[in-house]
Amino acid sequence: MRGSSFALFEKFQIKDMASLANDWKNDEDLKFQLESLVRKAYQRSEIVLVMRKEFPQYSWGCIKTLDRRLRHFNINYINYDTPLQHVKDVVEKELEGPGKLLGVRAMTKKLRMVHDIKVPRDFVNDVMYEQDPEGLADRQPCNKGKRKKGNFVTQGVNWVWSLDGHDKFVGFQNWTFPIALYGCYDTASRKVLYLKVWTSNSRSELIARWYFDYVYEAKKIPSMLRLDKGTETGILATLHAFLCRKHGDMAPEDTVHFGSSTSNRIERYWKEIHERMEKFFKRQLLELLEGGHYDPEDEDDRNILAFIYIPIVQREVNIFIELWNNSRTRFQKNTLMPDGIPNFIHTNPEEYGMVDQGWEVSVGKLQAAARVSEV
């Protein structure tokens, strides 16, 4: 009798284990995450690492396990059933906006991430060539005039955050158009942490507030900040030093490094955003100015322009950040920096021989810093 009961118990235990092993088939969160990572063109080995962290309740033994689950959810890296006319229509619409500044790689990425169109890159090239051959030729990369650069060395992600403002929108003598950018960039992973569009990027209280907002959400600060030496960074530098004073063995004054804009790592990003998005809006702004439809000395004109343009530019900037943070950086022979997807590098530094050099901060400490700095 006891043997019969044990056999029955074992039978039910095996049945429960089999049921648990198949729970993933009905997990909508799992399906959504897999679709998201495939749309961002993560490699399968990278997806497995992410899944082990976010869905540890399921077994992720090898890539074959991932492939089986992708097939179950009907998730593919390339969708060969995508109608040609649909791709042409979306590309044509993109070429009417800031997308006209994108090359084939960037356009393919935007189609995947923004429009969920997963087609081969050479397919996108053919469609772009058919619709805008001259523009596509103008955007081809050119290696002329490149000079050799030194290596940038970092101790890991969140070791140095690079912050800077971008004034190319603002125009002549930084006052013509009330549209300015300010951003923060992790130098190890090349991930853009935030990028804000506003009427000014020279108000110290505002710049400190943007940094504080991001830190309050992330609950983490870097070991160091890299800033330009100007009046707009005073409160930000003090706020960061205040938060760092109980972390590590660095003196608070050593946690902020000042230098020129030309040697700031985020400068490379400004070039990308200028070439791939900003030129489109600058043409419109100049047409308004030269056509006599906008007077930079009229406060009403400035306010109306800011009211209309800032939300539009911020929306496009947010899309560009998402594309940038999920685009794979190319391998560079003469650099010590890791190549890969910035988002993945930032969350998985150990896969690149790095460690997270940031410091966790509590809500209480952040609230105290807010009170002291009046941010």
**Structural domain spans, the chain:** 2-72, 84-138, 160-373
Judged by phi (left if over 0) then psi (alpha if -120 to 50, else beta), residue 240 lies in alpha
For residue 139, the model assigns a pLDDT of: 64
**Taking 80 as the threshold, does the pLDDT of residue 13 lie above it?**
no
d(Cα 234, Cα 236) in Å, to the nearest integer?
5
d(Cα 231, Cα 235) in Å, to the nearest integer?
9
The string of pLDDT tens digits covering residues 343-355 is 999 999 999 888 9
**Taking 90 as the threshold, does the pLDDT of residue 182 lie above it?**
yes
Order of strands across the sheet with 256-259?
192-198, 180-186, 160-166, 224-228, 256-259
Q: What is the CATH number of domain 160-373?
A: 3.30.420.10
For residue 171, the model assigns a pLDDT of: 74
d(Cα 205, Cα 183) in Å, to the nearest integer?
15
Q: Is the dihedral of CA 74, 79, 84, 86 positive or negative?
A: positive
**Taking 90 as the threshold, does the pLDDT of residue 14 lie above it?**
no
Higher pLDDT, 209 or 149: 209
Q: How many CB atoms lie within 10 A of CB 216?
A: 14
Is the Cβ–Cβ distance between 185 and 191 less than 8 Å?
yes
Is the Cβ–Cβ distance between 187 and 162 less than 8 Å?
yes
Q: Is 342 helix (H, G, I), strand (E, B) or coil?
A: helix
Q: In this structure, what token pair is assigned to residue 282?
A: 């600058």
d(Cα 199, Cα 301) in Å, to the nearest integer?
13
**Taking 80 as the threshold, does the pLDDT of residue 18 lie above it?**
no
- Angle between the 44-54 and 28-39 helix axes, to the nearest 10 degrees? 150
Enter the pTM of the model.
Answer: 0.74
d(Cα 361, Cα 218) in Å, to the nearest integer?
9
d(Cα 235, Cα 205) in Å, to the nearest integer?
7
Higher pLDDT, 219 or 146: 219
Q: In this structure, what token pair is assigned to residue 302?
A: 């400035």
Return the percentage of the chain with pLDDT > 90, whole number.
39
In the chain the first and final C-alpha atoms are separated, in Å, by 74
For residue 62, the model assigns a pLDDT of: 86
Q: Is 226 helix (H, G, I), strand (E, B) or coil?
A: strand
For residue 374, the model assigns a pLDDT of: 81
